Amino acid sequence: MVLQSNISNPCNKKCKSQFHGGTEARKKELIHVKNPHLERMPCDTLYHIHLGTEYQDLQALFGDIKFVCMGGTPARMKEFAHFIKNEIGYIPPYGTTLEDISKLGHRYSMFKVGPVLSVSHGMGVPSIGILLHEMIKLMYHAQVKDPVFFRIGTCGGIGIEGGNIVITSEALNGYGEPNFDLPVLGKKMSRPAKLDSNLAMDLKNLTLPEDPWDTTIGKTMCADDFYEGQGRLDGAFCEYSEADKIAYLTKLHKNGVRNIEMEAVIFGALTHHAGIRAAIVCVTLLNRLNGDQINSTREERDEWQARPQKLVSRYIKNQLNLSS
Ligand SMILES: O=P(O)(O)O[C@@H]1C[C@H](O)[C@@H](CO)O1
Ligand SMILES: O=c1cc[nH]c(=O)[nH]1
């Protein structure tokens, strides 16, 4: 892809992106980075995604972005890039292919498909948190107006069998609070983990009667661990009984929680703080009330993982006025 050749450019010590660009009116429409220090920096390196205002004209390269789609694995996000390319009929510039823009950062994979970015975020809050800071700054530097962020993920269902979709209404941390908490300068910083309820409803309504899954809107518990942090009995260590586990999951279910994953609180908190509309669309890999081990077949999981992609693709096509 054209982007690739620009990305390999050596540093030329001049800021290529118009860092403070735009009129006051235009600035109001843009992403809120809420960091006064950024304005004073001559250049900004987005280290983990291998981009920077010093190296590229980020507005020229990314100014047309409307949708940022994130998911855990590079393979899933590459697959989504190719899927959405076909769905929206995107034709890469002559002689180019879909390249991993962030390959040389060796952390995340990112593919640009016209107005869509498809990016892998790794596992857990710290990994997606670093990416979110850099993606939000990328939107800011590129002067993108009103982008929509999606997390296209997998999760454990609570009272929901494998293969169904849960769209997050509210994200809760491991203590059951709707916040993302982070120690900052030795003190607790807390931000509300809010998601866009209209967007969630729009996505749910795109489920078709013939789809082989149900879509539920519910609260999501965001754990900092896959095993003990999610009340599993099959980790290397466990100091609670099966009855304790079921009591905990039943309590969550009574509180409206329908799934557990590992990124929701920071995804909700940072997008909300930036004024970005966002949704989390996850497929359940199992019903945690019935077990802990993920023993569906690889083929089954691949098909299930494509389901949130289909829903998000329908939304993107509608927004781009492309027929389904
Ligand atoms: O988007 P993915 O499938 O990576 O999300 C969930 C939460 C963790 O990152 C991971 C655990 O298996 O899957
Ligand atoms: O049970 C599950 C399945 C996928 N991802 C999780 O975090 N938990």
Residue spans of the domains in the chain: they are: 1-146, 149-324
Q: Pairing state of beta strands 277-287 and 165-172?
A: antiparallel
Tell me the residue type at 156. Answer: G
Residue 217 marked ligand-binding: no
Tell me the residue type at 277. Answer: R
State the distance from the centre of ligand 2 to the C-alpha of 41, rounded, in angstroms: 39
Phi (first) and psi of residue 87, to 5 degrees: -65, -40
The tens digit of pLDDT for each residue in 68-124 reads 999 999 999 999 999 999 999 999 988 888 999 999 999 999 999 999 999 999 999
Residue 49 marked ligand-binding: no
Tell me the residue type at 94. Answer: Y
Tell me the residue type at 232. Answer: R
Residue 45 marked ligand-binding: no
- What's the Rg (C-alpha) of the chain? 20
The count of C-alpha atoms lying within 13 angstroms of the C-alpha of 97, restricted to the half-sphere facing its C-beta, is 3
Asked whether the beta carbons of 116 and 62 are under 8 A apart, the reply is no
State both tokens at 297: 């077949």
C-alpha distances in Å from residue 36, one per residue of 20, 33, 211, 215:
12, 9, 47, 41
CATH class of the domain comprising 149-324: alpha beta
Residue 258 marked ligand-binding: no
Architecture of domain 1-146: 3-Layer(aba) Sandwich (3.40)
Tell me the residue type at 180. Answer: F
Q: How many CB atoms lie within 10 A of CB 198?
A: 9
State the distance from the centre of ligand 2 to the C-alpha of 150, rounded, in angstroms: 18
State the distance from the centre of ligand 2 to the C-alpha of 199, rounded, in angstroms: 23
State the distance from the centre of ligand 1 to the C-alpha of 221, rounded, in angstroms: 13
| Per-residue tens of pLDDT for the chain, all 324 residues | 333 333 333 334 456 665 554 556 556 667 779 999 999 999 999 999 999 999 899 999 999 999 999 999 999 999 999 999 999 999 998 888 899 999 999 999 999 999 999 999 999 999 999 999 999 999 999 999 999 999 999 999 999 999 999 999 999 999 999 999 999 999 999 999 999 999 999 999 999 999 999 999 999 999 999 999 999 999 999 999 999 999 999 999 999 999 999 999 999 999 999 999 999 999 999 999 999 999 999 999 999 999 999 999 999 999 999 976
Among 118, 150, 221, 261, which residue has the most ligand 1 atoms within 8 Å of its CB, making it the best to mutate?
Answer: 261
Alpha carbons 118 and 108: distance in angstroms, whole number: 10
Q: Is the dihedral of CA 199, 160, 269, 46 positive or negative?
A: negative
Is the minimum distance from the CB of 263 to ligand 2 under 6 angstroms? no
Quote the pLDDT of residue 55: 87
Domains 1-146 and 149-324 are alike in CATH topology = yes
CA-nearest residue for atom 4, ligand 2, is: 155
C-alpha distances in Å from residue 135, one per residue of 27, 130, 141:
18, 9, 10
Q: Which ligand is nearest to the CA of 155?
A: 2
Quote the pLDDT of residue 18: 55
Alpha carbons 66 and 61: distance in angstroms, whole number: 13
